[in-house]
Amino acid sequence: MSSSNTVLHIITGLQDGGAEGVMYRLCKHSASTKHVVISLMDEGKYGSLLREAGIEVFCLGMNPGKPSLFKFFRLVSLVRSVCPGVVQTWMYHADLIGGLAARIAGNKNVYWGIRHSTLERGKTKLSTILVARLCASLSFWLPKKIICCANKASRVHEELGYTKDKLCVIHNGCDLTRFSPNENSRQRVREEFGVSESEFLIGCVGRYHPCKDHENLFKALALVKDAGVNFRCLLVGKNVNKANGALVNAIANLGLDESVLLAGSREDVPDVMNAIDIHVLASSSEGFPNVLAEAMACGTPCVTTEVGDALDIVGDVELTCLPSDPDALASLVQRMFLKWFEGPEIWERTKIHCVQKIQRFSVQSMVDAYEACWYGRK
């Protein structure tokens, strides 16, 4: 007999990614529901954090390149033993494998989680595209609902063949208790990197990946530098460090060695968001770019390429430009610099406006939306 108050999450892995972070926040802040998590691979970053939050975690150790029938039926067995009222899957491989396992285990309350807003060859693995297309063909039967993180993701997957009537959108929620203005955090990080208050500090938080388009960012920064703007740029994210030869060479080739600071992965992202003066998102593809909401929650203005639901987050088309257009991105950065340069009073009003705009993307609003969807209130 199923436990209607238990939600079983099946996710591809628990590494440091956007989907993993959203699932963690959802489980942690959904106090009225019991959550259990199954990772198809390992426990990554979030396994221990989930356990610390009192959430049971299972890891199957699957190899994405070598499907295992034994581990698949181990998954079926786990679904039966947990006996959840709802099975929530995250990302294409888990949607397919987790959804099928849940159905074989006798559970029809399967909710898929869509995190991509584009599927382009060269930027997305061919195997991922094939799995997404297979999911599209099964979407009329397998899931009860298909939850997308962005409006654009919903439109793209409808065009891909996903069943329209099952698609719904729940935006990611930002933990406003972690991401909020903090002057002490600002001063600490700036001192760590030797950046004075009189310097304009640009920031970009995101892993090194083609879809993040660091090349677009660097070309834009080179144009900003050529225009005579004095700035520093702090880059944070997985593989965004001096050990990444391709990244270091790209920076050097554009003469940005003295301007760009490489910080790699950090656990104090809220402090980083407070330290920078603006956040720049240069991506060519996103679903719901969490970093924009996180920066704005800290009172940090953003400029962004118009990807995923970025425009919905920043709320102003004049803060956006088309992807892969460094000239347009450079213009946005220069415009923000001039506003910052005008003086603290104008800039402070801009920061307050950012905090106010992002309140609608709170964790609690996301939790409420998921629970309404799972329990038929949406």
Q: Is 2 helix (H, G, I), strand (E, B) or coil?
A: coil
| pLDDT at residue 122 in the model | 64
| pLDDT at residue 1 in the model | 46
Write out the two tokens for 85.
């009222």
Q: How far is CA 44 from CA 15, 149, 265, in A?
A: 4, 22, 14
Torsion of CA 133, 138, 139, 145, to 10 degrees: -120
Residue ranges of the chain with pLDDT lower than 50?
1
| pLDDT at residue 125 in the model | 80
| pLDDT at residue 3 in the model | 61
d(CA 306, CA 286): 9
Task: Kindly tell me the burial class for residue 168, based on how many C-beta atoms sit within 10 Å of its own C-beta (0-12, 13-18, 19 or more).
Answer: middle
| pLDDT at residue 179 in the model | 96
